[in-house]
Amino acid sequence: MPAYLLGRLGSALLVVLGAATIVFLAMRAIPGDPAVVMLGVSATPEQVAALRMRWGLDAPLPVQYVNFLARMAVLDFGQSIRLGMPAAEAVAQTLPYTVYLALAAFVMALLAGFPLGIYSALRRGKAADRTVSLLSLAGQSLPSFWVGIMLVLLLSRTLHLLPSGGAGTPEAVLLPAVTLALPLLSVIVRLVRSGLLEAMGEPYIQTARAKGLNERRVIGVHGVRNMLIPVVTVVGLELGTLLGGAVIVETVFAWPGLGRLLIDSIAARDYAVVQASVVMLVVFFVAINIVVDLLYGVLDPRVRVDG
């Protein structure tokens, strides 16, 4: 296990390093002096000179790159010109909102996705199955920003049931979470449906039926448990899409999370925060993938790696 975990951590580190490199190159690709870019046009020459000194911007590019990575390791992403605080602090303030939103969406997607998928599989080929399949295709392909706006139009503006944005009240999370959950929910429905159909064709299902188990246990214990393994893997990978989706959904609903911070910072050319939020989103994403990998071993004893 330690060797496997180390390898997994190593490749995760490589992904974070790749993301950091892209961020570094992107920041250097913006025309102009990085110090001026970081501090904004209103900075005094003294401030610019101080930052150039502190970050060694006169050094050759490879040296700058190493310094950049060293600062990143201690979470020093520089000062936010828009918010007047360290970029890392701005990220720390918004991160909990994104985690909360993503978790709410994840729970919704699981709670609705599994029953719908199982139901659809058990009614294979019937009208109900076709409806669920079509809806899940729609849920997977519809642009989430538009779905969000339509929910606001219907439930906030017209029916006045829920707030249209912000995070002021406890129920404010509902609309953004539903919007964010929809694509994942659809993916889960499709995976559960096809996974269960496949599992139900296996010989052990015949065995279970032959030994006289009632159909409930055959489906619940033998079918669902075996269907879980592929589903968990893909759902884990899809969790990352939740983070990508959060960038858009948070903007639609003015949800004060990391995604909205990123978009606002891009609009304000607040590059210190752009760097910090991209790197943190990637770290978050990679961490989720490791957890999913470990969970995989718990669910399926066959892939458990002994150390």
Interface residues toward another protein, by CB under 8 A: 11, 14-15, 18-19, 22-23, 26-27, 29-30, 137-138, 140-146, 149-150, 152-153, 157, 240-241, 243-245, 247-248, 251, 262-263, 266-267, 274, 278, 281-282, 285-286, 289
Nearer to another protein by Cβ, of 287 and 303: the residue is 287
Nearer to another protein by Cβ, of 148 and 223: the residue is 148
CB of 254: closest distance to another protein in angstroms?
Answer: 11
CB of 134: closest distance to another protein in angstroms?
Answer: 8
Three-state SS string over the chain comes to CHHHHHHHHHHHHHHHHHHHHHHHHHHHHCCCCHHHHHHCCCCCHHHHHHHHHHHCCCCCHHHHHHHHHHHHHCCCCCECCCCCCEHHHHHHHHHHHHHHHHHHHHHHHHHHHHHHHHHHHHCCCCHHHHHHHHHHHHHHHCCHHHHHHHHHHHHHHHCCCCCCCCCCCHHHHHHHHHHHHHHHHHHHHHHHHHHHHHHHCCHHHHHHHHCCCCHHHHHHHHHHHHHHHHHHHHHHHHHHHHHHHHHHHHHHCCCCCHHHHHHHHHHCCCHHHHHHHHHHHHHHHHHHHHHHHHHHHHHCHHHCCCC
Nearer to another protein by Cβ, of 245 and 257: the residue is 245
Nearer to another protein by Cβ, of 138 and 303: the residue is 138
In degrees, rounded to 5, the angle at the alpha carbon of residue 285 between the alpha carbons of residues 280 and 290 is 125
CB of 162: closest distance to another protein in angstroms?
Answer: 14
Nearer to another protein by Cβ, of 48 and 234: the residue is 234
CB of 155: closest distance to another protein in angstroms?
Answer: 12
Nearer to another protein by Cβ, of 192 and 219: the residue is 192
CB of 232: closest distance to another protein in angstroms?
Answer: 16
CB of 250: closest distance to another protein in angstroms?
Answer: 11
